[in-house]
A and B are shown apart, each in its own frame.
Chain A
């Protein structure tokens, strides 16, 4: 039995070594480990931002974004929104929808990117883009792709159901009237 207890660990070590004997394979394994770690950190950063977005913690929103942060909305926009403008937008959203809440439906991290599918819920209690408070409850989703560098978000590209959102605020889509 004693013999076995010495053999067993040896056997274990040797088969680990044989299993990953290849130096290249070991390096690859290390790289994967490092990548996984970064991806987990990036996910945590995205979660921090979403939590801050729900709470209206504008200090944290500023902190997670790099000074050179740009936000493309829609995702192919040619006029990106700066970090300061993004914070202003978040503030306006909170004053129109004080109970606003973002629910993360899916969070995927790959390399330096985090992809998030979210549902935004809130009650329209203050003026929003010229529409006076309706008291309507809104529920709208979207997808945002964030790129992270040195622990800060540097770029976001997003598409969401803007039309659905405006319709939930009572707006209607009509053909443009032809002037007589």
Chain B
């Protein structure tokens, strides 16, 4: 009997929890997603690196298809952003679509900018770029822990004046021509 007395409250508790469990929204709410997006936009569009600590967790891992290795940690993310902000001082990001699912968020975006600063060891080209991308972010406690970014790097580089060429054979001596 004593055992039952313990079980009954437990069962009652359980069925209360289950009966309306789904009403309690887990993960990111639409409002939180909007707030996060606003901060991200400010970070990119105002070149505000102080927002990095606010929106990304210390263990952040960014997979960027334009960068061969994953960018890990807040400092590396800041360096990566700083490089971009230097290369494209008028960089502008717009978010075209946001889809929220639990602790995950997908976004489609468009970026524009003018390459008036040097990018890594590449001198400024003075050209405008405009390209789109799709990202997926995973969140823990409201901060992004892992992000995958895909965008058309080839299109961006072509806009900067680059072109794809087949592997170049060693140049033949002039006389043969």
Interface on A for B, CB 8 Å cutoff? Answer: 4, 8, 11-12, 15-16, 18-20, 25, 28-29, 32, 74-76, 106, 108-110, 113, 115, 117, 131, 141-145, 157-164, 166, 170-176
Contacts and interface: CB of A to CB of B under 8 A. Distances in A.
Contact of A29 (B22, B106, B162, B164): B22
Given A74-B155, A76-B110, A166-B154, A174 B163 contact: yes
B34 interface: no
B136 A173 contact: no
A172 B167 contact: yes
A130 to B, nearest CB: 9
A171 B134 CA distance: 24
5 contacts: A8-B8, A76-B108, A142-B134, A158-B134, A166-B154
Contacts, number: 134
A8 B4 CA distance: 11
B20 A19 contact: yes
Nearest to A110: B101
B161 A176 contact: yes
A29 B20 contact: yes
Contacts of A12: 11-12, 15
B95 interface: no
A145 B108 contact: yes
Contacts of B4: 4
Contacts of A11: 8, 11-12
B168 A172 contact: yes
Nearest to A162: B154
B20 A74 contact: no
A20 B101 contact: no
Nearest to B131: A74
B140 interface: no
A173 B166 contact: no
A36 to B, nearest CB: 9
A74 B106 contact: no
Given A76-B131, A175-B163, 14 more contacts: A20-B19, A29-B23, A74-B133, A115-B136, A142-B150, A145-B106, A145-B108, A159-B132, A159-B152, A161-B150, A163-B65, A164-B65, A166-B164, A173-B165
A15 B12 contact: yes
Interface of B: 4, 8, 11-12, 15-16, 19-20, 22-23, 65-66, 96-97, 99-101, 104, 106, 108, 110, 131-136, 148, 150-155, 157, 161-168
A25 B23 contact: yes
A74 B150 CA distance: 10
A58 to B, nearest CB: 25
Contacts of B97: 145
A143 B132 contact: no
A144 B133 CA distance: 10
B174 to A, nearest CB: 15
Contacts of B11: 8, 11-12
A75 B108 contact: yes
B15 A110 contact: no
B15 A16 contact: yes
Contacts of A171: 164-167
Contacts of A106: 136
Contact of B153 (A8, A76, A162): A162
Contacts of B66: 163
Contact of B136 (A20, A117, A162): A117
